[in-house]
Amino acid sequence: MLVLLPPSETKAIGGEGAPLDLDALSFPELNPVRDKLVSALEDLANDVPASLKALDISERQLDEIERNAALRTSETTPALLRYTGVLYDNLAFGTLKKAEKERAYQRLAVASALFGAIRGGDPVPAYRLSGGSTLPSHGSLRTVWKPVLEPVFKDADEFVVDLRSGAYSSLARIPHAVVVRVITSEGKIVSHFNKAHKGLLARAIVTTSTEPGDLKGLVKVARKAGLKIVPTGEKTADLITD
């Protein structure tokens, strides 16, 4: 199965892996666009004012531009260790057993503005780029990614669970994926606890040796982990926070 997680703006720094090797990443069909975007970010880093505007950051975040300038030379680390924040805190990758970590590397993937999609074990550097960004040299990332990402997902012979957030969902449609949204028991869309519950669902998926192959299997795994999840259609489900 393939569980698509949203990324995070914040990322762990450093790593013990060799510099970026696009051939070491999953979904090699995406490498031409990855290479183009990496080069674009490196070039953009030479123009600080343009970088600040394109990345929507302040002068207090100049270190983010420095990381983009070193994309091909800085250390890498597995994606599930690179991304940080509420979702990844609740996944708590570091507390998983060895077999569970291996399942996480295979079953979980991250929707990335820079790399399109990467599996949890793919080695990546720290970088700054958001799904809603517009690069001076390439325009909106939606325009860049949609033509290449959608065919990759369409051809994926896997059960796909889509936990992406809005900006990343717009990079590619996945009609056959099961989409899970997080709501309250009153039916209100959750913002504050959204990522936390997605992290808990991701953890439930990797802490079981049983690999869900459809929505019914996903619901069974989630409920076994104590999560309240309700199917709302053939390819949709609600994860209820209370």
Q: Is there a contact between 19 and 76 (Cβ–Cβ < 8 Å)?
A: yes
Q: What are the φ and ψ backbone dihedral angles of 125, each rounded to 5 degrees?
A: -85, 170
Provide the residue type at 31 as one letter.
N
- Give the per-residue pLDDT at 207: 98
pLDDT tens track for 139-173: 999 999 999 999 999 988 899 999 998 889 999 99
* Residue 214 per-residue DSSP state: S
Taking residues 70-91, what's their average pLDDT?
A: 97
56: left (phi over 0), alpha (psi -120 to 50) or beta: left
pTM above 0.75, yes or no: yes
Taking residues 173-195, what's their average pLDDT?
A: 87
- Give the per-residue pLDDT at 66: 96
Cα dihedral across residues 35, 78, 229, 1: positive or negative: positive
The mean of the pLDDT values for the chain is: 95
| Structure tokens belonging to residue 125 | 């550097």
Q: What are the φ and ψ backbone dihedral angles of 123, each rounded to 5 degrees?
A: -80, 120
What is the number of domains present in the chain? 1
Q: Is there a contact between 113 and 129 (Cβ–Cβ < 8 Å)?
A: yes
Q: Is there a contact between 177 and 111 (Cβ–Cβ < 8 Å)?
A: no
Instruction: Name the residue range of residue 83's domain.
Output: 2-240
